């Protein structure tokens, strides 16, 4: 029985790999900082690239990444039209701190909340930070786990590749 299952799983994975089609966003609801609800597939950037960065207020490398990009975000936007979405996985312990932290940090990102990890699971995010890059059709074309100083340059290169 177990062998059969493994075979089926393997077939499933292989068939996906062989077709290698582009990956789209799953249809999952996230919360807005205004207390509203929104389906993540509804994000828009007029056909320009979108970056989705999963983070949390308790995650040092996440904040480092987003603070570093914040310094050059205006330049990035001018050059490539990119929009960054900071997707917080803070649960209800730290969720209330997200808006004050974001505001105090002077970030210009769009911020959404995923307090029980629904989107995180649907997108296969096991640790933060985890960054996805979406092209004009909102297909995921690149992703990166973790952040060390300098990683923002690789992200910018990838954005430039797909920017109009």
Query: What residue ranges bind another protein (CB under 8 A)?
Result: 1-2, 4-5, 8-9, 11-13, 15-16, 19, 21, 23-24, 26-27, 34-37, 57-60, 67, 71, 91-94, 96-97, 99-106, 115-118, 121-127, 130, 142-146, 148-151, 153-154
Least Å from the CB of residue 129 to another protein:
11
Q: In the complex with another protein, which residue's Cβ is closer, 91 or 110?
A: 91
Least Å from the CB of residue 17 to another protein:
8
Least Å from the CB of residue 2 to another protein:
8
Q: In the complex with another protein, which residue's Cβ is closer, 5 or 46?
A: 5
Residue 129: cis peptide before it, omega within 30 degrees of 0: yes
Q: In the complex with another protein, which residue's Cβ is closer, 84 or 147?
A: 147
Task: From residue 159, give the alpha-carbon distance in Å to each of 1, 54, 70, 73, 111.
Answer: 46, 17, 16, 12, 20
Residues paired with 84 in a beta bridge: 51
Count Cβ atoms below 10 Å from residue 60 Cβ, excluding itself. Answer: 10
Largest CA distance in the chain: 57
Q: In the complex with another protein, which residue's Cβ is closer, 2 or 164?
A: 2
Asked if residue 113 lies in contact with residue 90, where contact means CB atoms within 8 angstroms, the answer is yes
Nearest to 54 by CA among 125, 134, 139: 125
Least Å from the CB of residue 46 to another protein:
24
């Amino acid at each position: 029985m177990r062998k059969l299952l493994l075979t089926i799983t393997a077939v499933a994975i292989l068939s996906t790999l062989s077709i290698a089609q582009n990956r789209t966003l799953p249809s999952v609801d996230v919360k807005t900082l205004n207390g509203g609800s929104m389906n993540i597939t509804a994000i828009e950037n007029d056909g320009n690239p979108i970056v989705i960065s999963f983070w949390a207020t308790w995650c040092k490398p996440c904040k480092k990444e987003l603070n570093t990009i914040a310094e050059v975000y205006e330049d990035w936007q001018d050059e490539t039209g990119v929009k960054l979405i900071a997707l917080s996985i803070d649960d209800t312990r730290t969720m209330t701190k997200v808006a004050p932290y974001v505001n105090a940090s002077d970030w210009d990102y769009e911020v959404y909340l995923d307090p029980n990890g629904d989107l995180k699971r649907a997108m296969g995010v096991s640790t933060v930070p985890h960054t996805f890059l979406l092209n004009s059709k909102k297909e995921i074309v690149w992703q990166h786990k973790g952040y060390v100083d300098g990683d923002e340059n690789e992200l910018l290169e990838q954005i430039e590749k797909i920017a109009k």
